[in-house]
Structure 1
Amino acid sequence: MERRNFIKNSALAGAGLLTSTGVMASGFGFNSGSADALKIAYIGCGGRGARAVKAALDLDIPTELVSMCDLFKDKIDHREKVLLNNVKDKSRIKVTEDTKFTGFQGYKEAIALADVVFITTPAAFKPKILEESIKQNKHVFMEKPVCVDSVGFKQVMAAAALAKQKKLFVAGGLQRRYSTGYQAVVNELHDGAIGDILSAECYWMGGPIGDLTRPRKEHWTEMEFQNRHWRSFSWVSGGNVEEYHVHNLDIVNWVLQEAHPQSVLAMGGKSPGKDFSGSLGGFDSLTSNFKYKNGVSVHSYSRNIPNCKNKNGEYFYGTKGKCIIAGNATIYNHKGKEIFKASSKEHGKFHGAHDMVQKTLMESIYHGKEYFNDGFYAAQSSMTGAFGRMSGWSGKEMKWDKAIESQVALFNYTDATDMNSTPPILPDEFGNYPVPTPGKTVVM
């Protein structure tokens, strides 16, 4: 199917606007301009988003960047320069001063100009922006994590369902699912290489994810300060579990062929330092015991503190053997003999399939390939992280079905939100931010 008609048809079919005689006259799903070019809106102008946009602009199919949006104009201008210095064809960058949008509400105008929306904002803002993108009949790439709490989770699930109804593509930033190495070893596990899986472990222990050493400018409001240091604040980023460990949790859900665990009991805490902490208002260490169907027990370890032992990977134990995925993947039988290996040399980096996400999305749209929608598993895996966080903060054992009904949101993003709004947490007279207190903190 020709690209222009495919985009228009995919949006209109779900909206009930196709007739037996063809597409009714409508602008839904396609913005006229350069012939056949897929037009991109880039919302949330950080480094990960710039890489994603570059990957899309460097494809052999025609693509254009037509709009950008961020809370801060300086971020937009910086990333525009980065892209101009790095994309293969600078003429594909069609952004003008009139198509740069700022603030908490600028995303709507940026979305309107595009065919495909790249949502690479901090996690707290993604559910609302995804909802608007699907409402405007746009295809979407959405970086992980996609929500920070149960309220956002339900919003993303509803938007993904609407996207499916409208046949709008949704690609997720949980890029390990696009890695040929991960695909190879997961296929082996699904084929029974280690028998029935009884338990698993997953780790993301690394350095800090936040940095408050950059000075606070006098004219900044507290809302601006926290958003310019968004990795340091749990309400914006979701904390260390959501920002990084979500990748490991996603692999566990994938391997176990379960959308999510059934229950969790977690514990964690926060180190005294605040300059490096990625969890102001939260924890920077969390250990969770998730229980899946059939009693499968998964131990999850997340920590982001400097000068500590680092570890990253997934470990699965079954009735016939075990599997270790840490840079490479190796499967052993019950006697310890290696029976399968997938190496980065053979398959490429296990953790470096980011660009494949954009390639798959844009080529699928352009060429009218088989429909896919990552929104569901991206939401489930992001909520798995939030699920553990809820248990750790509260000190309570949590059941999934109850947890997702919680109306306790980390942040309430409305059409009135601006830089003068009060953020969810505030420092005390000594500059210290509150820390959750297990046994007292309310998450339900």
Structure 2
Amino acid sequence: MASDCEIIVTATPPNFRPVHVEAAIKAGKHVFAEKPVAVDGPGLRQFLAAAKLAKEKNLALVAGSQRRHQKGYLLQALALQQGKVGQVLGGAVYWNGTVPWVRARKEGMRNDAYLCSNWVNWTEMSGDHIVEQHVHNLDVANWFIGRYPRTAGAFGGRARRVSGNQYDYFGVDFDYGDGIHIHSQCRQIGGTSGFVGERFRTEQFEISGGGKIQKVGGEALKLEGDTYTLNGNTYAIKDGNPYVIEHENLLRGILGQIPLMNEGESIAMGTACAIIGRISAYTGQTVRMSDVIENQNSPYYNLVCKPTWQEFEAGDVAMPEYGDDQAPLPGKPWGK
């Protein structure tokens, strides 16, 4: 950090994200933070504190939640904010696909090197795929509903994975209060049908994330708009590749062409949704958002994924509690 660079991109395994973002912000750097931004409650709170510090220091913090920079999603969010379609009453979000990769352990490889190489298959490194991938769809649900869920009740299991200790599938009921529920479904099993997206329902309309807003039994709503607001600031809605636009918005903010962006809270709370969903599936218990954010008496408040980043700093690490042929069992203690 002791250099004249102005921007840090954090794209290491997610368990390192909170400490890397914190260090960058403390050093006065603007940050692009890949998703997810934590793998457990302590990491979430560390990241949220860093996001708050970024605001205080007038530093940009843009996240890898590219749907928030994508024209189709922005126009839908604008229609919801303007009251054109009513409020979301429920819906479902999906990330059904396959395991991205498996990197076998090489002869003589230390535990720390192996875990970092094969990080996408280990809960302690990635948060499990509900956190590492499905965070995108959960973030859209939070965005379109306008708040965060109160609780998560989940199930999941492991059937075919050949590496790491993650689950193959999750099903979660997120309760947003006032009768609003979002069903979350994510799966990594080869040879199965794949779908990634979001579907929501208001009283009169069906919303397909990033696509159409269709009146039930009627025509599609014409989506219009040139600008949107974020944290009280106005930004242009641009057509193009959202993976490019998110970085463009980071750079234009730093150059003073648009207001600096801080997406810290939204990506942290999307990550929090995924974490409480995972904990619920692993333990078989209903988990509240407050359990990882503010309730210090909760058994999940200080539940950490081990090895932690601090253990990596000290040298080689012990392998996680569950190994290549094991995974947490619902209804049994996990992470103690």
Q: How does 1:339-354 map to 2 (within 5 A)?
A: 339-340=221-222, 352-354=241-243
Aligned to 1:201: 92
CA distance in 2, matches of 1:273, 1:353: 32
CA distance in 2, matches of 1:200, 1:316: 4
Answering whether residue 158 of structure 2 is matched by residue 270 of structure 1, we say yes
Aligned to 1:304: 188
Residue 186 of structure 2 aligns to a residue whose secondary structure is: strand
Aligned to 1:371: 260
Q: Hey, which bits of structure 1, 4+ residues long, moved more than 4 A?
A: none
Aligned to 2:227: none
Aligned to 1:410: 305
Give 5+ residue unaligned stretches, structure 1: 1-107
Q: How does 1:284-295 map to 2 (within 5 A)?
A: 284-295=168-179
**What's the TM-score, normalizing by structure 1?**
0.67
Aligned to 1:361: 250
CA distance in 1, matches of 2:15, 2:171: 23
Shift in Å, 1:416: 6.3
Give 5+ residue unaligned stretches, structure 2: 225-237, 296-300
> Which digits, 9 at most, give the CA deviation of each residue in 1:141-167, with x for residues without a partner?
111111111111000000111111111
Aligned to 1:238: 127
CA distance in 1, matches of 2:79, 2:335: 38
1:331 aligned residue (203, 210, 213): 213
Answering whether residue 283 of structure 2 is matched by residue 394 of structure 1, we say yes
Shift in Å, 1:368: 5.8
RMSD of Structure 2 on Structure 1 (CA): 2.2
Amino acid paired to 1:169: A
Query: Greater RCO between the two (CA within 8 Å, min separation 6)?
Result: 2
CA distance in 1, matches of 2:115, 2:244: 30
1:211 aligned residue (85, 89, 102): 102
The answer as to whether partners of 2:79 and 2:223 remain within 8 angstroms in 1 is no
The answer as to whether partners of 1:193 and 1:320 remain within 8 angstroms in 2 is no
Larger CA Rg, structure 1 vs 2: 1
CA distance in 2, matches of 1:115, 1:149: 29
The answer as to whether partners of 1:333 and 1:339 remain within 8 angstroms in 2 is yes
Residue 133 of structure 2 aligns to a residue whose secondary structure is: helix
Answering whether residue 309 of structure 2 is matched by residue 421 of structure 1, we say no
Q: How does 1:24-423 map to 2 (within 5 A)?
A: 108=1, 112-212=3-103, 214=104, 216-258=105-147, 260-275=148-163, 280-325=164-209, 329-340=211-222, 352-367=241-256, 369-404=258-293, 405=295, 406-411=301-306, 412-414=308-310, 417-423=313-319
CA distance in 2, matches of 1:336, 1:393: 42
Residue 168 of structure 1 aligns to a residue whose secondary structure is: coil
Aligned to 1:74: none
Aligned to 1:67: none
The answer as to whether partners of 1:224 and 1:419 remain within 8 angstroms in 2 is no
Aligned to 2:332: 440
Give the % identical residues.
28
1:355–1:169 CA distance, 2 compared to 1 (3 A): same
Residue 184 of structure 2 aligns to a residue whose secondary structure is: strand
Amino acid paired to 1:223: D
1:426–1:292 CA distance, 2 compared to 1 (3 A): closer
Residue 137 of structure 1 aligns to a residue whose secondary structure is: coil
1:144–1:132 CA distance, 2 compared to 1 (3 A): same
Shift in Å, 1:435: 0.6
Amino acid paired to 2:309: Y
> Which digits, 9 at most, give the CA deviation of each residue in 1:63-106, with x for residues without a partner?
xxxxxxxxxxxxxxxxxxxxxxxxxxxxxxxxxxxxxxxxxxxx
1:204–1:137 CA distance, 2 compared to 1 (3 A): same
CA distance in 2, matches of 1:417, 1:211: 25
Shift in Å, 1:426: 5.8
Task: Considering fraction of residues, name the structure with more helix.
Answer: 1
Worse-matched range after superposition: 186-195 or 149-158: 186-195
CA distance in 2, matches of 1:341, 1:165: 36
CA distance in 2, matches of 1:180, 1:324: 14
Shift in Å, 1:441: 2.7
CA distance in 1, matches of 2:316, 2:52: 34
Amino acid paired to 1:150: G
Amino acid paired to 2:180: V
Worse-matched range after superposition: 183-192 or 196-205: 183-192
